């Protein structure tokens, strides 16, 4: 056994089931030991959800409660499934199936196809774009590359939401989707696409789920065989489940309820693919006996980063916001987030590159730094700025700017115009270089105004617009430059960025950064029009943009830099404003009042077996304000005290000490840490308020109903100067 075996890369396998539970916090331990019946884990960013569910599976296996082959753990990416399998092996629980929905369904479909249908299974096509193009051609509809990609996305969305072609126009309108063509044309292409698949004996990615659902619904003998193998299910990232995936999960389960789901409604950022948090938020309704565990201890980020993340969601609206979790950092304090307002986008990129260079010179590894942006089209400016600063970088979840098909095609068009422009009528009436570039790129799809909606068409336009902007910047720096000079500049930039990939600073879109984390994060372009994006019009779309920024903030462990530019290009009119989401959070700004945390603090809610009573009507809570100076409070600790940290305290010191003594006895009797009874801040708030009745006590943040029921009588007795009912030893 080498020394490396003892490193964090090769940890020791726990020698017993109880050893698997070592190192888990109280809530994670609840997840790990709740092995029967439905369990819903509401896990905030950085709270160790993967740790909790892998230890849950491993504990069940090592304790002999679960058979490895009877467990199916489902997640959404191959990377996440691979990580889960690796962790389970390290915990001594090899043999557990950890797969994506599609992988698990494909495996079952391949196995049961001969029995359910007969013959060999149709070929699975990895890319459906060519089939969609053939379907459009059969309908005599011409699609450009962007429209083809967006039409393909619409067909995928229809299938995961179980929308048939005839219902697409109405369903798309109801969902507020921006169709790339007339919805009737999309429905027609969708119909022919399905016909072509049947005639060619092929299936697509979504068909894997649809066909598996069909087999399990129609063949009860096959469904029983699947259910006899898998007795226990775990679903990660449950907020991203589509209606089709939910239906498949229900068929896997049958009439059983050994299901554990894990998710966070505040990280729902893929609704455009059909994902919905409703299944997560309705879990307790579908499973009244469920145990709900809330993980809010954030082990990833410093209190300063967590404070900003909580502040973002404190002003959110909508159903997901009503169930938000207020994170509590478990790390040592770090630096405050840095906010930078720059004159233009190139200056913003140069500012980020300069700060990154300084961090690297101070010893921060490049691999621990990320630059996150809203759209892939923003990457080129940062690629160039980092290259100019000598900073290695890598792109994640996006093609390099000069590798994008539209950029390559535009470069060819510009090169042709530079060589033969004298014979191009498009260039007859233009003289300056930027006008020449705009004229050439207008033939490639560039327009003076961006297209409506999102998706490939918008991204294609943004790539071309970036080339137009580059031409303007190049002309400003090189008076008298020709089109040939610009083409040479483009070639030099492309060659410089085609160097072998190295481990460097990560450049990524916010969507592709989900599930990742870095020591240092630069959130760039955080301005109105980009965050939220211009085509986010409805309240639901705006709130998803807020959640996207929240995901970006919670990627940072220690250093967080937030920036925006007043204009796109140097010398432009400075009419941009920082994102509305930063109002009240960045220095010098004001914003709306914070909302109370709908999800509440961490803890466990036990399920009930009898018929649940009707839920009480939710009352509208007023903004939390300091009872000394009247300022609106957004910090969790200040909200618990109901005053600013800097405002004077009128705490009854003697009462506080009596409460601490009583709390220690309760904690010892229950075998829990002191803070599981009441936190220090809650005791301070009680000692300051000196409540005299249950209503006054219940108004103190941190005194939830279950704690009021359990400890209220004792606390009120102590506040009144009396002994608790059972004395110090009583409960």
Q: Look at residue 307 and give its three-state secondary structure.
A: helix
- 161 appears as a binding residue in the annotation: no
480: left (phi > 0), else alpha (psi -120 to 50), else beta? left
Burial of residue 502 (number of CB atoms within 10 Å: 0-12, 13-18, 19+): exposed
- Residue corresponding to tokens 């999800």: 599
Whether the CB-CB separation of 188 and 305 falls below 8 Å is answered with no
Concatenated DSSP letters of 572-637: S-----B-GGGTTTSTT---PPPPP-SS-SSEEE---SSPPPPPPPPPPPPPPB-TTT-PBP-SHH
- 43 appears as a binding residue in the annotation: yes
With DSSP H G I counted as helix, E B as strand and the rest as coil, what are the percentages for the chain, rounded to 5? 50, 10, 40
Ramachandran angles phi, psi of 649, nearest 5°: -100, 140
445: left (phi > 0), else alpha (psi -120 to 50), else beta? left
Q: Taking CA 494 as the corner, what is the angle to CA 492 and CA 497, rounded to the nearest 5 degrees?
A: 110
CA distance 345 to 74: 41
CA distance 176 to 107: 35
- 50 appears as a binding residue in the annotation: yes
CA distance 299 to 307: 14
Joined tokens for residue 429: 């009436």
Q: Look at residue 260 and give its three-state secondary structure.
A: strand
In this structure, the chain runs to a length of 731
Cα 327 to chain centroid distance, Å, stands at: 15
- 46 appears as a binding residue in the annotation: yes
- 60 appears as a binding residue in the annotation: no
Q: Helices (H), strands (E): how many in the chain?
A: 28, 17
Q: Which of 383, 367, 372 is nearest to 503 (CA)?
A: 367
Burial of residue 353 (number of CB atoms within 10 Å: 0-12, 13-18, 19+): buried
Residue list for the binding site for ATP: 43-50
Residue list for the binding site: 43-50
């Amino acid at each position: 056994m080498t020394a490396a075996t003892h490193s964090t890369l090769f940890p020791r396998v726990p020698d017993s089931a109880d050893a698997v539970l070592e190192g888990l916090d109280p809530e994670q331990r609840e997840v790990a030991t709740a092995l029967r019946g439905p369990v819903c884990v509401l896990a905030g960013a950085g709270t160790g959800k993967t740790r909790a569910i892998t230890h849950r599976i491993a504990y069940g296996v090592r304790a002999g409660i679960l058979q490895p082959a009877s467990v199916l753990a489902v997640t959404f990416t191959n990377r996440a499934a691979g990580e889960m399998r690796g962790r389970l092996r390290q915990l001594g629980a090899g043999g557990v199936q950890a797969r994506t929905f599609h992988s698990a369904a494909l495996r079952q479909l391949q196995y049961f196809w001969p029995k359910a249908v007969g013959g060999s299974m149709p070929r699975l096509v990895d890319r459906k774009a060519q089939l969609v193009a053939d379907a459009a051609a059969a309908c005599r509809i011409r699609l450009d590359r962007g429209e083809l990609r967006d039409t393909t996305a619409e067909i995928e969305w229809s299938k995961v939401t179980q929308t048939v072609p005839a219902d697409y126009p109405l369903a798309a309108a109801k969902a507020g989707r921006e169709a790339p063509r007339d919805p009737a044309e999309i429905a027609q292409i969708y119909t022919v696409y399905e016909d072509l698949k049947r005639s060619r004996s092929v299936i697509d990615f979504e068909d894997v789920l649809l066909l598996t659902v069909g087999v399990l619904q129609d063949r009860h003998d096959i469904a029983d065989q699947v259910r006899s193998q898998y007795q226990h299910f775990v679903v990660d990232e449950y907020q991203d489940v589509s209606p089709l995936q939910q239906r498949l999960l229900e068929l896997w389960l049958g009439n059983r309820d050994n299901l554990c789901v894990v998710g966070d409604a505040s990280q729902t950022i893929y609704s455009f693919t059909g994902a919905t948090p409703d299944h997560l938020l309705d879990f307790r309704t579908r499973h009244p006996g469920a145990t709900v565990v809330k993980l809010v201890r954030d082990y990833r980020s410093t209190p300063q980063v967590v404070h900003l993340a909580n502040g973002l969601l404190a002003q959110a609206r909508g159903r997901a916001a009503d169930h938000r979790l207020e994170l509590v950092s478990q790390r040592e304090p770090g630096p405050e987030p840095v906010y930078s307002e720059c004159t233009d986008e190139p200056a913003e990129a140069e500012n980020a590159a300069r700060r990154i260079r300084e961090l690297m010179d101070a010893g921060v590894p490049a691999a621990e730094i990320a630059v996150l942006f809203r759209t892939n089209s923003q990457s080129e400016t940062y690629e160039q700025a980092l290259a100019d600063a000598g900073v290695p970088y890598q792109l994640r979840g996006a093609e390099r700017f000069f590798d994008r098909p539209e950029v390559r095609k535009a470069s060819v068009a510009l090169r042709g115009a530079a060589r033969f422009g004298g014979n191009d009528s498009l260039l007859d009436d233009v003289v300056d270089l930027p006008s020449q570039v705009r004229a050439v790129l207008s033939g490639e799809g560039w327009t003076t105004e961006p297209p409506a909606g999102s998706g490939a068409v918008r991204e294609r336009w943004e790539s071309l617009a970036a080339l137009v902007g580059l031409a303007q910047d190049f002309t400003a720096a090189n008076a008298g430059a020709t089109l040939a000079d610009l083409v040479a500049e483009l070639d030099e930039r492309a060659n410089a960025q085609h160097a072998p990939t190295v481990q460097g600073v990560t450049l990524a879109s916010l969507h592709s950064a989900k599930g990742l984390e870095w020591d240092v994060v630069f959130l760039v372009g955080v301005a109105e029009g980009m965050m939220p994006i211009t085509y986010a019009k409805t309240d639901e779309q705006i709130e998803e943009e807020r959640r996207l920024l929240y995901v970006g903030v919670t990627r940072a462990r220690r250093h967080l830099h937030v920036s925006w530019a007043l204009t796109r290009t140097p010398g432009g009119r400075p009419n941009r404003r920082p994102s509305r989401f930063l109002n009240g959070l960045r220095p010098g700004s004001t914003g709306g009042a914070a909302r109370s945390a709908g999800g509440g603090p961490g803890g466990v809610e036990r399920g009930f077996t009898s018929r649940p009573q009707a839920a009480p009507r939710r009352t509208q809570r007023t903004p939390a304000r300091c009872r000394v100076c009247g300022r609106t409070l957004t910090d969790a600790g200040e909200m618990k005290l109901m005053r600013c940290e800097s405002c004077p305290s009128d705490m009854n010191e003697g009462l506080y000490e009596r409460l601490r003594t009583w709390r220690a006895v309760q904690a010892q009797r229950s075998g829990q840490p002191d803070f599981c009874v009441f936190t220090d801040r809650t005791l301070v708030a009680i000692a300051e308020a000196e409540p005299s009745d249950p209503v006054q006590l219940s108004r103190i943040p941190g005194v939830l109903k279950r704690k009021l029921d359990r400890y209220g009588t004792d606390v009120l007795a102590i506040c009144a100067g009396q002994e608790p009912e059972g004395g110090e030893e009583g409960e």
